[in-house]
């Protein structure tokens, strides 16, 4: 965790972080003031450049600083830029005191020696759901706590389904979902849209089907994995999904659904505000697993972490700041602002009481899984790249799903 660990910060680590950064939704540089731990200025970096001075988020940071008796100097970066800046700052011995970072990056930064563990920084993670906390764990150690989480589910257009004679209650597994798409197509309507683009977004959207088949990321060419990719390929071949999915980002996929022509769209909690403005009645359904039940969807959202400091006396005050940011009293407002579901049961109950429409999202998150869970760490970006390449290859018709995934597994090895 100290000088020997910092020497492991290489160009490879930098490229790995950039590859893993940012899929789900997420105020220059900062410097630590080492004139006195427990007083002065403490720096915080986050991936929320959209929140300017005077916003609720910045006011919360200022309030937490006041409570700890220090000034918080906050800088917001683009998600991928934040990962880059963090590694460079660690190399220079100039890390921020508090780092809020996209969850797939946590294990990579941890392996590079950038972050302290929660045992070292005394963060209390006992109230956090284990499946959400797992995204910040590596080799049995925890490197932060989630500030909130989002994930994927199926939005559906109630009018389109009603006109096609589809009862949404009948959609419980892959067979019934495909039957619903067929029925929608016979009624002259469009079926389902999603993002299968050749980036992390494509892998992110494919993972619920991949995991829902029973497949594991350590075996991309398993029969279960092939069944998941075959499902998507068959949807395109039968016209249930448009060819545009090959180039769709999650944003353009949403725009297709917002047109009102599609029965279903795979997208995330970050589209809730847009859904309410879409002009048609919609519902949300957790993505079904192949044989029924909820598939594990990947978790998005950031972790509050504490980077390594040469002046270890700063950790006590840093702990006060992180405890304030992740307290039950503050998580409700923060997660509402960020369109996140809270990582603790106590705050989720408060969210559900205020907005019952979050119920399917809470269910989806209970089944969700971190992309770097299963101790994949820095291996995940390589796996993800081969996965999205396989999806692109199969959906475009270049290769069969089986051959595409066989090649993907060989490339990862």
Q: Is residue 327 part of a domain?
A: yes
Torsion angle (degrees, nearest 10) of CA 86, 87, 91, 94: 0
Let me know whether 115 and 30 are in one domain. yes
Let me know whether 201 and 137 are in one domain. no
Q: Is residue 371 part of a domain?
A: no
CATH number of domain containing 263: 3.40.190.10
Let me know whether 131 and 239 are in one domain. no
DSSP string, 39-78: SSEEEEEES-TT--TTSHHHHHHHHHHHHHTSEEEEEE--
How many angstroms separate the CA atoms of 34 and 317, rounded? 12
How many angstroms separate the CA atoms of 56 and 313, rounded? 30
Q: Is residue 340 part of a domain?
A: yes
pLDDT tens track, the chain, 413 positions: 333 333 344 343 444 444 444 454 433 333 334 445 666 999 999 999 989 999 999 999 999 999 999 999 999 998 878 988 999 999 999 999 999 999 999 988 999 999 999 999 999 999 999 999 999 998 899 999 999 999 999 999 999 999 999 999 999 999 999 999 999 999 999 999 999 999 999 999 999 999 999 999 999 999 999 999 999 999 999 999 999 999 999 999 999 999 999 999 999 998 988 999 999 999 999 999 999 999 999 999 999 999 999 999 999 999 999 999 999 999 998 898 888 999 999 999 999 999 998 999 999 999 999 999 888 888 898 999 999 999 999 999 999 999 999 999 999 98
pLDDT at 273: 86
Task: Classify 327 in phi/psi space as left (phi over 0), alpha (psi -120 to 50) or beta.
Answer: beta
Strand partners, 369: 298
How many angstroms separate the CA atoms of 129 and 150, rounded? 13
Domain count, the chain: 2
Let me know whether 398 and 255 are in one domain. yes
- 144 in Cβ contact with 319 (< 8 Å): no
Let me know whether 316 and 384 are in one domain. no
Let me know whether 231 and 293 are in one domain. yes
pLDDT at 373: 87
pLDDT at 32: 39
Let me know whether 122 and 18 are in one domain. yes
Burial degree of 390 (CB within 10 A; 0-12, 13-18, 19+): buried
Let me know whether 205 and 248 are in one domain. yes
Query: Directed axis angle between helix 223-237 and helix 174-186, to 10°?
Result: 10
DSSP 266: E
pLDDT at 16: 46
HSE-CB of 333 using CA atoms within 13 angstroms: 12
pLDDT at 29: 32
pLDDT at 357: 87
pLDDT at 31: 38
Q: Is residue 107 part of a domain?
A: yes
Q: Where are the beta strands (DSSP E) in 216-346?
A: 262-268, 282-285, 302-305
Domain that holds residue 398: 152-297+376-412
3-state secondary structure (DSSP) of residue 363:
helix
Measured from the Cβ of residue 347, the count of other Cβ atoms closer than 10 Å reads: 24
Query: ∠ CA(341), CA(161), CA(395), 5° rounding?
Result: 75
Q: Is residue 72 part of a domain?
A: yes
pLDDT at 410: 97
pTM confidence score: 0.85
pLDDT at 286: 95
Compute the chain's Rg from CA coordinates: 22
Let me know whether 208 and 287 are in one domain. yes
According to DSSP, the β-strands at 190-193 and 262-268 are parallel
3-state secondary structure (DSSP) of residue 259:
coil
Let me know whether 72 and 115 are in one domain. yes
Let me know whether 61 and 198 are in one domain. no
Query: Directed axis angle between helix 11-20 and helix 380-395, to 10°?
Result: 50
pLDDT at 38: 61
> How many residues are given for the chain?
413
* Cα–chain center distance at 40: 34
According to DSSP, the β-strands at 302-305 and 145-146 are antiparallel
Let me know whether 82 and 162 are in one domain. no
Query: Directed axis angle between helix 250-258 and helix 200-212, to 10°?
Result: 70
Q: Is residue 219 part of a domain?
A: yes
């Amino acid at each position: 965790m100290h000088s020997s660990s910092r020497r492991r910060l290489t160009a490879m680590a930098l490229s790995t972080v950039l590859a893993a950064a940012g899929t789900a939704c997420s105020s220059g540089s900062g410097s630590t003031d080492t004139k006195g731990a427990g007083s002065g200025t403490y720096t915080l970096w986050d991936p929320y450049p959209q929140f300017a001075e005077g916003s609720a988020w910045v006011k919360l940071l200022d309030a937490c600083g006041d409570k700890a008796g220090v000034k918080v100097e906050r800088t917001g970066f683009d998600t991928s830029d934040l990962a880059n800046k963090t590694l460079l700052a660690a190399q220079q011995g100039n890390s921020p005191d508090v780092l809020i970072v996209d969850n797939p990056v946590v294990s990579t930064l941890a392996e590079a020696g950038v972050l302290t563990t929660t045992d070292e920084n005394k963060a209390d993670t006992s109230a956090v759901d284990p499946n959400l906390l797992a995204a910040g764990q590596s080799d049995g150690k925890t490197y932060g706590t989630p500030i909130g989480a989002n994930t994927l589910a199926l939005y559906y257009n109630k009018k389109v389904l009603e006109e096609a004679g589809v009862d949404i209650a009948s959609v419980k597994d892959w067979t019934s979902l495909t039957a619903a798409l067929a029925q929608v197509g016979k009624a002259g309507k469009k079926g389902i849209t999603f993002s299968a683009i050749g980036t992390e977004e494509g892998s992110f959207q494919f993972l619920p089907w991949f995991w829902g088949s029973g497949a594991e990321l350590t075996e991309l060419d398993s029969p279960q994995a092939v069944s998941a990719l075959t499902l998507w390929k068959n949807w395109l071949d039968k016209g249930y999904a448009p060819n545009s999915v090959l180039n769709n980002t999650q944003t353009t996929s949403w725009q297709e659904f917002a047109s009102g022509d599609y029965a279903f769209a795979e997208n995330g909690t970050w589209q809730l505000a847009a859904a309410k403005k879409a002009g048609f009645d919609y519902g949300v359904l957790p993505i079904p697993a192949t044989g029924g039940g909820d598939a594990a969807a990947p978790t998005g959202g950031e972790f509050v972490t504490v980077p390594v400091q040469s002046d270890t006396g700063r950790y006590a005050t840093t702990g006060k700041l992180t405890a304030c940011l992740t307290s039950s009293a503050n998580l409700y407002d923060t997660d509402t602002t960020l369109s996140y579901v809270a990582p603790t049961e106590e705050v989720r109950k408060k969210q559900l009481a205020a907005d019952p429409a979050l119920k399917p999202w809470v269910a989806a998150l209970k089944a969700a899984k971190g992309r770097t869970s299963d101790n994949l760490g820095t291996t995940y970006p390589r796996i993800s790249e081969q996965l999205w390449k396989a999806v692109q290859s199969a959906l475009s018709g270049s290769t069969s799903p089986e051959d595409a995934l066989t090649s993907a597994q060989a490339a990862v090895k």
